[in-house]
Amino acid sequence: MKKTQIGLIGLAVMGANLARNIASKNFDVIVYNRTKEKTKEFIKQYGNEHLFGETRSLSQFVASIERPRNIIIMVQAGKPVDAVIEELFPLLDSDDCIIDCGNSYYRDTIRREAYLAPKGIHFVGCGVSGGEEGALHGPSIMPGGSGENYVRLRPIFEAIAARDFNGWACVTHIGWGASGHFVKMVHNGIEYAVMQIMAEAYDTLRKLYNLSAPGIADIFEDYSKGKLGSYLFDISLKVLRKEDEFQDGASLVDYILDRAGQKGTGKWTAIDALERNVCVPTIAEAVFARNISANKKLRTELSATFEEFHGKNLPPLNKFIPLLKNGLYASILSAYAQWYDLITQASREEGWEVNLAEISRIWEWGCIIRAEILSFLHESFLDAPEWVSHLFAIPEVMSAFRESVPDWHGVVSIIIEHGIAVPTIGSSLSYFEAMTDNEHPANYLQGLRDFFGAHTYERTDRKGVFHTEWSDK
Ligand code: 6PG
């Protein structure tokens, strides 16, 4: 067998589909999995003139790849990644390159890159989004690491990636170091936020208007045709319209337990933002909402202690639908502003040099958050002056908000009046209000802090640091 252009370790569904995608673009790829049986089965089913398997040993696998070697690892994030690196380490030569395509925590990527560098082994932390289907037919790919490694891997990445709205590959060199995994982590934070915003809209429609799941799907279908068009709305229609196999005529979604899982990327995003003093309230609230949902037992107990609350001023459904549409759009846009802030700040602090227009472009298709809004952001970033300090400072973005803000206020107040929790829609609005307000109540906070702790304050009318002996202390 001739040597292959690339190797891939890890044949769980994402790895298997990625290997098939690479082979389908005529790159020779060899795969390896800890369980040999899995490799055998995979090759029996999908092996062809470009797709090979190695079941003898990891060293045979490594020896089958042309040098300098490129080896993708697609195993569970955390310890399994370190275990694979440890096994590969003695088998690799200088200038070989490991590409970690899993959802690794970016600080692990920094550590791994530093660990491999003295031996001359390159390490590329590479985010891949799109789920099983994306991995097979075209994901959005977010590689970090050095520019030289990107040039080396680019032909494969560009061949297997999804295409953006202009037909370009949904891949770009995100930036140096661990920027690829960082940006994928934030992608997932946004995924949490957008999904929770949509879930709150679903909750509102079913509780306030007694709509069935297919009835809500009809409204979401209408939303998905315009500026809210997105993969998450598309799949919502399928989820909401799915009939249950056990309960005749019922919707499956009505029988799914309201307890959400999570693997950690949203939480990492929120923690990272806190550490960098960046505000991502919508992402954080989306994580909290999953945590609250997971506490089913307590919620069930507490729900018996408080009667349902009904407000008075519910508009007719046909008036509410367009309000909600604009409220959703503005909430999602506000969540993106938080994304902008976090990535910009991290890139500055870590020296990654990421390009926000490019990130928006490669998220136009292939990834889970692919949406019309990303094309709008891509165009807005391209038009924005270089010094732009915040997403809200981009004129196109601000006019989009201007069109939606009155409805956004209206919808949030109606929902809150009727006692429904909308932590992400509400926090997106509060973030927008706070960020565009020149008069915060922090003056009052400073007064309290100075009163009890002599923490000092600054003044609006003169320079310097002040402390007051508050007379009533
Ligand atoms: C993707 C997804 C994918 C997955 C995450 C989030 O981009 O393909 O983001 O990575 O959905 O692991 O999963 P949790 O919701 O379980 O945290």
Q: List the end-to-end C-alpha distance of the chain, in Å, as a whole number.
A: 85
Task: Give the Cα separation of 131 and 17 in Å (integer).
Answer: 10
Mutational pocket test of ligand 1: of 368, 369, 370, 374, the residue with most ligand atoms within 8 Å of the beta carbon: 368
Residue 40 tokens read as: 């055998």
* Domain tally, the chain: 3
Q: Please report, as a single letter, which amino acid is at residue 323.
A: L
Set 54, 113, 191, 350: catalytic member: 191
Using alpha carbons only, give the angle 96, 97, 101 rounded to the nearest 5 degrees.
155
Cα 316 to ligand 1 centre (Å): 37
Question: Which pLDDT does position 90 carry in this prediction?
Answer: 97
Ligand 1 pocket: which of 182, 191, 362 to mutate (most atoms within 8 A of CB): 191
CA-CA distance, 260 to 282, in Å (whole number)?
Answer: 17
Residues 384 and 402 placed together within one structural domain of the fold: yes
Is the Cβ–Cβ distance between 458 and 466 less than 8 Å? yes
**Spatial contact of 123 and 113, defined as CB atoms under 8 Å apart:** yes
CATH number at residue 204: 1.10.1040.10
Judge contact between 170 and 141, C-beta under 8 A. yes
- 178 found inside a domain: no
Q: Which of 125, 146, 173 is the last residue of a domain?
A: 173
Low-confidence ranges of the chain (pLDDT < 50): none
Q: If you write DSSP's letter for every residue of 79-144 in order, what string do you get? A: HHHHHHHHHHGGG--TT-EEEE-S---HHHHHHHHHHHGGGT-EEEEEEEESHHHHHHH--EEEE-
Q: At what angle do helices 372-383 and 395-417 cross, to 10 degrees?
A: 140
Same domain? 456 vs 422: no
Q: Which residue has the tokens 């519910």?
A: 314
- Both 257 and 308 in one domain: the answer is yes
Q: How far apart are CA 172 and CA 150, in angstroms?
A: 8
CB 107 within 8 A of CB 178: yes
Q: Which residues line ligand 1 (CB under 6 A)?
A: 103, 129-131, 188, 191, 261-263, 265, 367-368
Pairwise CA distance, residues 186 & 267, whole Å = 10
**Residue the block writes with tokens 């959005």:** 140
**342 & 454 share domain:** no
On whether the CB atoms of residues 2 and 28 are closer than 8 A, the answer is yes
Spatial contact of 339 and 369, defined as CB atoms under 8 Å apart: no
- Residue 1 within any structural domain of the chain: no
Write the residue with the smallest CA distance to atom 10 of ligand 1. Answer: 129
Domain boundary among 173, 205, 229: 173
Tell me which amino acid residue 89 is: F
**Distance (Å, rounded) from C-alpha 164 to C-alpha 141?**
12
Supply 256's token pair. 């799914």
pLDDT single digits (tens) 316-365: 999 999 999 999 999 999 999 999 899 999 999 999 999 999 999 999 99
Tell me the two tokens of residue 373. 């809004």
**pLDDT at residue number 209:** 97
Q: In what order do the strands lie in the sheet with 97-100?
A: 51-53, 29-32, 6-9, 70-73, 97-100, 122-129, 140-143
Domain that holds residue 28: 6-173
Model confidence pLDDT, tens digit, residues 117-145 = 999 999 999 999 999 999 999 999 999 99
Please tell me the predicted confidence (pLDDT) of residue 388. 81
pLDDT for the residue 312:
80
- Tell which atom from ligand 1 comes closest to the C-alpha of 266: 17
Asked if 231 and 371 touch (Cβ cutoff 8 Å), the reply is yes
Catalytic annotation on 184? yes
Indicate which CATH number applies to the domain containing 450: 1.20.5.320
Are residues 190 and 277 part of one domain? yes
Q: How far apart are CA 380 and CA 341, in angstroms?
A: 15
- The answer on 430 and 443 residing in a single domain is no
- Does residue 163 lie in a domain region? yes
Residue 473: its pLDDT value, please?
60
Our answer to whether residue 463 is catalytic in this structure is: no
